[in-house]
Amino acid sequence: MKRLKIVSACIITIMLVWAFTQPSEKYFDIARSLDIFTTLFKEVNAYYVDEVNPKKLIETGINGMLNQLDPYTDYIPEEDLEAFSIQTTGQYAGVGALIGIVNKKTVITNPYVGFPAHRGGVRVGDEIIAVNGQNVQGKPTSEVSALLKGKPNTEVIMEVKRTGQNAPISFKLKREKIKISNITYFDLVDATTGYIKLDEFTPGAAKEVEAALVDLKKRGAQKMILDLRDNLGGSLYEAVNIVNLFIPKGKEVVSTKGKVEEWNKTYNTLNNPIDTEIPLVVLTSSSSASASEIVAGSLQDYDRAVLVGQKTFGKGLVQTTRQLAYNAQLKITTAKYYIPSGRCIQAIDYEHRKIDGSVSKFPDSLKREFKTKSGRKVYDGAGLDPDVVVEAATFSSAVMELVSSGLVFEYATKYCSEHVSPASMKSFRLTDQEYQQFVAWVSDQKFTYTSELDQKADELIASAKREKYYDELQSQFTDLKTRIEQNKNSALTRNKPELSRILEQEIAFHYQLSKGQVEVMLDRDPELTRANQVLSTATEYHKILIAN
């Protein structure tokens, strides 16, 4: 019963955190609901036919409750705090390597540059078979990761299998504090254009961008591209400080407004900028979210940057972490944020759910018009519209399923074990012969996939059977399925342009990590190419930033 009181106290604490600003008339409903929940749980615990796990049952209840809100409001039990801390701070103690499961093998997917695993010679694709003598084959990545982490300056022995080598390789590594860099790549993409790829907004992001900006300007950069594609966001403070690099001190960047008025706040730039004049392009994608949208949106509102790419995700919600009993925490959405034009870019309406519990985007009829500093029209409720749209690449089901199968990763591992790394990945391209070797290898792996045509044909056949037409049309259906299968057999050849680029990127990452992955695409990245075009013509750049 003591355990029961503990979990009940957790529920009460969570509910009160949610309710403490509600009108007084709601308190009776809250107290009654909590009383019902507590007595219900007692009955289940006492009389259910099988033994129940109180902790699991309560957490299921908590998560069920929070699922009615938005996907960013999360319950974090004590045992998950370390993972949450790593996610929000980018810091932990270990060997500095990201691991994952590829075709039932635990492999190194990213040895972070400059940290113990990378310095020790661990490579992308190495299969971890033992840690400190303990066999980890078939173990979940969480268990393997826990074994690799530990106190700084302690040693760990990691044994791996490497493609192309018969004997296992043993690495003795000394753990250290790991701070994952927010910037994965920065360099001059031509004599006068700097490029910064920012992937995270963990503490220190603004300082990293500042250092990269200063370095690139010293090396001759007169134009700048900030790449926020696929950046899911992070710290609001880092977003404000990054905007501050390009706009004057004392300017509003973002304001937050929620139920608790005393928490509402306006965030202004506090420091002197680095450069308020340098022509700037920000690259965006459908996965640019939250802090990325604060940076891109604020710079757009001040007509300080041209946005190039795709419409952003549309996450205009702010989360706050609240301490709960027994070292648990609640990450709860407490406000919406508004960028300088006054717009909130939140695209999903979590407040008004449908009867089935699903949510919808805000309809176009509810979107409102706002103005940038120069008077350009911008809109709320749907993410950020780029100033220059570049359509996102689309891939066939064959390409997507091949990549998700892990076979592209495995072949890249194999390729790198058989070829010496080029000095630079900028000109790396697979020959036609090498691509055909890849196709033959995939065929040997018995790769199969379900295409959209397969699904449509099956739906058509099922419909014909329901309508009693199948017997009459059976031969035509058989011929259709045969033709679809023949079409699938040539999928890798038909999709060669897309697949070869994906494979080249994976090989480049295996060789030279993020640096190689970026460099192999520099001269054929559609968004980057369009950004360079915008920046290369001062007339076009300034015309975009001036209201018609």
375: its two tokens = 């008077």
Q: Which of 145, 235, 285, 290 is catalytic?
A: 290
* 301 included as an active-site residue: yes
d(C-alpha 193, C-alpha 219), whole Å: 10
Q: Which residues pair with 331 in a beta bridge?
A: 74, 321
Alpha helices in 235-290 (DSSP H): 236-244
Helix axes 54-66, 27-47, angle to 10 degrees: 150
CB 18 within 8 A of CB 331: no
Q: Which of 70, 187, 301, 303 is catalytic?
A: 301
Q: Which residues pair with 97 in a beta bridge?
A: 111
Rounded to a whole number of angstroms, the distance between the first and last alpha carbons of the chain is 70
CB 422 within 8 A of CB 510: no
Beta strands at 388-389 and 306-309: parallel, antiparallel or unpaired: parallel
d(C-alpha 107, C-alpha 102), whole Å: 7
395-406 burial, b at 16+ Cβ within 10 Å, e below that, comes to ebbbbebbbebb
d(C-alpha 146, C-alpha 527), whole Å: 39
* 190 included as an active-site residue: no
Beta strands at 193-198 and 223-227: parallel, antiparallel or unpaired: parallel
CB contact set of 468 (below 8 Å; sequence gap of 6+): none
CB 539 within 8 A of CB 311: no
232: its two tokens = 């899911």
Q: Which of 197, 315, 414, 488 is catalytic?
A: 315
51: its two tokens = 């033994």
* 315 included as an active-site residue: yes
- The count of other CB atoms within 10 Å of the CB of residue 130 is 18
Alpha helices in 375-431 (DSSP H): 397-404, 407-418
DSSP 445-486: TT-----HHHHHHHHHHHHHHHTT-HHHHHHHHHHHHHHHHH
264: its two tokens = 């509402």
CB 193 within 8 A of CB 532: yes
CB 377 within 8 A of CB 523: no
CA distances from 230 to 113, 297, 355 (A): 21, 15, 32
375 backbone dihedrals φ, ψ, rounded to 5°: 100, 10
Which residues are annotated as catalytic?
290, 301, 315
